[in-house]
């Protein structure tokens, strides 16, 4: 059966190749080799050196391209390595718009590293398309948008953002980590680049680091390929294997994640210690309709504010099933305190302005029994 005829539930299970063409192995082999033999002078098997390409990495790259309905996939040693490569597509003096609410590591690398190379960064609430349009200047060349954002779950209309960016020749990059191609495919909505921290839902088991990017444009792909192979921030064959294995269960995991998250969100929404929840699957959420229009699901990320700051420390110390830890997207439920963890690099005044206060907690809802998750939250909140 042709790959394009398959539904995504089948694509994630079988990947790009479905089996190893050399041996027939159903599981993609780990080609743990740094270098490859040449048959003769000016002859190659297609593989020369693993920094340039490796068969295991190639399968992962083709799989993510297939899942996003793109042409060219790239696998990096981490999500930040992928983002770093995309930043390098721009030149000194050029202006890049970013979501005002985004992962602290992205903010840090822009402000503390790449600003010194003459790039100009501006942080905008792109959930308002008018804000995005107003922020575009004569030297604006890129827009990097998380949707939903981390951790406030703001949503940008990708189709409308694409129209505006195309009119101005702005490269639109969408961070699709929270939803994955199972729930949202930004290239189909007009984005130029989609990027993932595959460490999260795509890997799904909190056991490896990986970043992925997908594009359709051949010229853009060549630029990324040059940076990728030259800088060498490539993911190892073994980690590629782990991500490929994780992707196989993406559909069933995300369905359970979301099923649990909807019930957990409802519980938190009605808890006396909780002030407000931020979950795009809540029908009262201001971005619910946009999500319904551009995504097939809402994911399993919930942020919520508690009424008393003292509750934060109590919750983080008292949870038993849920783990107080960085990261998200694994099968285990994780709770994070953004103000000192994921968003510690962002200045306090900016954090407070976007809502990342000392009363905010972020919850990555896992696939455990939902009653156990809710029971754990309840005993920790009381």
Q: How do the domains of the chain map onto residue ranges?
A: 3-248, 251-381
Class of the domain covering 251-381? alpha beta
Question: Which whole-number Å values give the CA distances from 368 to 245, 255, 334, 359, in the listed order?
Answer: 20, 12, 11, 26
> pLDDT at position 1, please?
47
Helix (H, G, I), strand (E, B) or coil at 146: strand
Q: Which two tokens stand for residue 307?
A: 């009424």
Task: Please provide the average confidence, as pLDDT, over all residues in the chain.
Answer: 96
> pLDDT at position 348, please?
86
More reliable by pLDDT, 382 or 177: 177
List pLDDT tens digits, range 62-108.
999 999 999 999 999 999 999 999 999 999 999 999 999 999 999 99
List pLDDT tens digits, range 342-357.
888 888 888 888 999 9
Residue 129 buriedness (CB in 10 A; 0-12 / 13-18 / 19+): middle
Cβ atoms of residues 74 and 212 within 8 Å: yes
Q: Which two tokens stand for residue 178?
A: 């929270």
> pLDDT at position 341, please?
87
List pLDDT tens digits, range 136-164.
999 999 999 999 999 999 999 999 999 99
Q: Which two tokens stand for residue 324?
A: 């107080």
H or E element at residue 121: strand 120-124
Q: With a cut of 90, say whether residue 4 has pLDDT above it.
A: no
Q: Stretch 48-59: mean pLDDT, rounded? A: 97
Q: With a cut of 90, say whether residue 209 has pLDDT above it.
A: yes
The pairing of strands 274-278 and 301-306 is antiparallel
In this structure, the number of other CB atoms found within 10 A of the CB of residue 53 comes to: 17
List pLDDT tens digits, range 264-315.
999 999 999 999 999 999 999 999 999 999 999 999 999 999 999 999 999 9
Q: With a cut of 60, say whether residue 56 has pLDDT above it.
A: yes
Q: With a cut of 60, say whether residue 2 has pLDDT above it.
A: no
Q: Stretch 167-189: mean pLDDT, rounded? A: 98
**Minimal CA–CA distance to 249: which of 59, 15, 73?**
15
DSSP summary character for residue 235? P
Cα–Cα distance, 99 to 90 (Å, whole number):
17
> pLDDT at position 253, please?
98
Q: Model confidence at 168, in pLDDT bands (50, 70, 90)?
A: very high
DSSP summary character for residue 43? -
Cα–Cα distance, 284 to 265 (Å, whole number):
11
Catalytic residue set: 51, 103, 175, 200
Residues in contact with 113: Cβ distance below 8 Å, sequence separation at least 6, in sequence order: none
DSSP summary character for residue 38? -
Q: Stretch 172-179: mean pLDDT, rounded? A: 98
Class of the domain covering 3-248? alpha beta
Cα–Cα distance, 157 to 168 (Å, whole number):
17
Q: Give the phi and the psi of residue 32 in degrees, each rounded to 5.
A: -85, 65
The DSSP code sequence of 262-315 is HHHHHHHHT-TTEEEEE-TTSTTSTTHHHHHHH-S---SEEEEEESSHHHHHHH
Q: Where are the alpha helices (DSSP H) in the chain?
A: 8-14, 55-67, 79-87, 104-108, 129-135, 158-168, 180-183, 218-231, 237-248, 250-269, 288-294, 309-318, 348-354, 370-381
Q: Stretch 18-43: mean pLDDT, rounded? A: 95
């Amino acid at each position: 059966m042709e790959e394009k005829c398959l539904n995504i539930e089948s694509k994630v299970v079988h990947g790009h190749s479905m089996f190893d063409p050399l041996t027939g192995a159903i599981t993609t082999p780990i080609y743990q080799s740094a270098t490859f033999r040449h048959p003769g002078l000016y002859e190659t098997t297609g593989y020369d050196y693993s920094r340039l390409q490796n068969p295991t990495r190639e399968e992962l790259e083709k799989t993510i391209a297939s899942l996003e309905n793109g042409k060219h996939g790239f696998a990096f040693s981490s999500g930040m390595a992928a983002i770093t490569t995309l930043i390098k597509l721009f030149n000194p003096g050029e202006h890049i718009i970013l979501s005002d609410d985004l992962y602290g590591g992205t903010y840090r690398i822009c402000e503390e590293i790449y600003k010194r190379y003459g790039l100009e960064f501006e942080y905008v609430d792109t959930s308002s398309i008018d804000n995005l349009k107003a922020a575009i200047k004569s030297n604006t060349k890129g827009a990097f948008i998380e949707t939903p954002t981390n951790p406030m779950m703001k949503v940008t209309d990708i189709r409308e953002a694409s129209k505006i960016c195309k009119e101005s020749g702005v490269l639109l990059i969408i961070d699709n980590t929270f939803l994955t191609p199972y729930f949202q495919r930004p290239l189909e909505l007009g984005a130029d680049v989609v990027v993932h921290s595959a460490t999260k839902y795509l890997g799904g088991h909190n056991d490896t680091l990986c970043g992925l990017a997908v594009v359709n444009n051949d010229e853009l792909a060549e630029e990324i390929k040059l940076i990728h192979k030259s800088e060498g921030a490539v993911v190892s064959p073994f980690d590629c294997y782990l991500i490929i294995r994780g992707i196989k269960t993406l559909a069933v995991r995300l369905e359970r994640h979301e099923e649990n998250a909807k019930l957990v969100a409802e519980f938190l929404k009605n808890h006396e210690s909780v002030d407000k929840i931020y979950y795009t699957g809540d029908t009262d959420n201001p971005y619910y309709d946009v999500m319904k229009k551009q995504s097939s699901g809402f994911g399993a990320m919930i942020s919520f504010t508690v009424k008393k700051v003292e509750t934060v420390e109590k919750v983080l110390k008292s949870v038993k099933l849920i783990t107080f830890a960085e990261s998200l997207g694994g099968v285990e439920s994780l709770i994070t305190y953004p103000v000192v963890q994921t968003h510690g690099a962002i200045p306090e005044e900016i954090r407070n302005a976007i809502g990342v206060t000392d009363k905010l907690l972020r919850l990555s809802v896992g696939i455990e029994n939902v009653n156990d998750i809710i029971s754990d939250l309840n005993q920790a909140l009381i």
